Amino acid sequence: MKNKYDSKCNTHDHKQWSRKSFLQALGFLSGGSMMLGKTALTSSNHSFLSQSLANLEHDRVLVLCRFGGGNDGLSNIIPLNQYDDYVNARPTIHIPENKLLTVQEDVFAVPETMAPLEFLWKENGMKVVNGVGYNNINLSHAKSSHIWIDTDVENRVKGNGWIGRYFQEEFPDFIANPPSFPPALKVGGGTNNALCRGDEHQYAYTFGTVERLEQVAKNGVLYEVEGENTQNCTYQNKLNHIQKTSNFTTKYAQAIYEAYHRSSNYSGGYKTDSLSKQLAVISRLIKGNLGTRVYVITLSGFDTHKNQVTRHNNLMTSFSNAISTFYKDLDQAGWSDKVLTATFSEFGRRVSENGSKGTDHGRASNMMLFGKALNGTGAVNDYPSLTDLDNTGNLKYSTDFRAVYATLLREWLSVPEQTITRSIYGGSYSSLDLGFESKTSETLSVSGVENSSLGSYIKSSVSYDYDQNATLQITSPYSTHVEIRLFNLSGKEIGVICNEIISSGNTIAINMHTFKQDLKISEGYYIYKGITNYGNFSGKILL
Q: Quick count: other Cβ atoms within 10 Å of Cβ 317?
A: 18
Q: Which residues pair with 298 in a beta bridge?
A: 66
Q: For 232-277, how does the pLDDT look when each residue is reduced to its tens digit (9 = 90+)? A: 555 565 555 455 444 434 678 888 999 999 999 999 999 999 999 9
- pLDDT recorded at residue 45: 38
The Cα-based distances of 131 to 75, 183, 385, 433, 517 in angstroms read: 14, 31, 9, 15, 60
> What φ, ψ does residue 237 adopt, rounded to 5°?
-60, -45
Order of all β-strands in the sheet with 480-487: 493-502, 480-487, 525-532, 535-542
What DSSP designation does 367 have?
Answer: E
- In which band, very low, low, confident or very high, does the pLDDT at 331 lie, cut at 50, 70 and 90? very high
Within 220-302, residue ranges assigned H as helices are 236-249, 253-262, 274-287
Amino acid at 302: F
> What pLDDT score does 12 carry?
34
Q: State the number of CA atoms in the 13 A half-sphere of 334 facing the CB.
A: 13
Query: Is the distance from CB of 353 to CB of 93 less than 8 angstroms?
Result: yes
Q: What SS3 state is found at 118?
A: helix
| φ, ψ for residue 92, nearest 5 deg | -110, -15
Domains (range + CATH), the chain: 7-31+446-542 (2.60.40), 61-213+289-437 (3.40.720)
d(CA 482, CA 117) in angstroms, rounded, equals: 32
pLDDT of residue 301: 96
Nearest to 403 by CA among 359, 344, 348, 457: 344
CA distance 444 to 17: 6
| Three-state SS at 149 | helix
Question: Closest Cα partner for 511 from 459, 542, 469, 482?
Answer: 469
112: amino acid identity, one letter: E
Question: Which has the minimum average pLDDT: 137-151, 176-190, 398-412?
Answer: 176-190
Look at strands 294-300 and 184-187 and give their pairing: parallel
Reported confidence tier of residue 429, pLDDT bands at 50, 70, 90: very high
pLDDT of 509 > 80? The answer is yes
Question: Poorest-confidence range of 22-31, 318-327, 399-408, 424-433?
Answer: 22-31
Closest CA to 14 of 450, 519, 536, 535: 450
Q: Over 60: is that where the pLDDT of 21 sits?
A: no
179-230 pLDDT per residue, tens? 888 999 999 877 678 999 998 889 999 898 999 999 999 988 765 545 444 4
pLDDT beyond 60 at 41: no
Which letter does DSSP use for residue 286 in this model? H
pLDDT tens-digit readout, 444-474: 332 333 333 343 457 788 887 777 788 898 8
Q: Tell me the range of 55-69, 168-182, 244-258, 386-400 where mean pLDDT is highest.
A: 386-400
pLDDT at 25 > cutoff 80: no
CA nearest neighbour of 153 among 416, 405, 384, 381:
405
Q: What is the pLDDT of residue 383?
A: 97
Our CA dihedral for 367, 427, 415, 217, rounded to 10 degrees, sits at 50
Determine the pLDDT at residue 494.
84
The alpha helices in 362-478, defined as continuous H runs, are 401-407, 417-423
Q: According to the model, what pLDDT value does residue 175 have?
A: 78
| % residues pLDDT > 70 (the chain) | 78
CA distances from 503 to 180, 453, 471, 480 (A): 27, 20, 19, 7
Average pLDDT, whole number, for the chain?
Answer: 81
The reported pLDDT for the residue numbered 437 is: 67
Question: What is the pLDDT at residue 242?
Answer: 52
Per-residue confidence (pLDDT) for residue 218, from 0 to 100 = 92
Please check the confidence at residue 364 and state whether its pLDDT lies above 60.
yes
Partner residues linked to 61 by β-bridges: 339
Question: Cα angle vertex 186, ends 55, 528, to 5°?
Answer: 20
Residue 438: its pLDDT value, please? 54
Q: Per the confidence metrics, is the pTM higher than 0.95? A: no
Tens digits of residue pLDDT in 81-124: 999 999 999 999 999 999 999 999 999 999 999 999 999 999 99
- The most confident of 212-216, 262-266, 346-350, 528-532, by mean pLDDT: 346-350
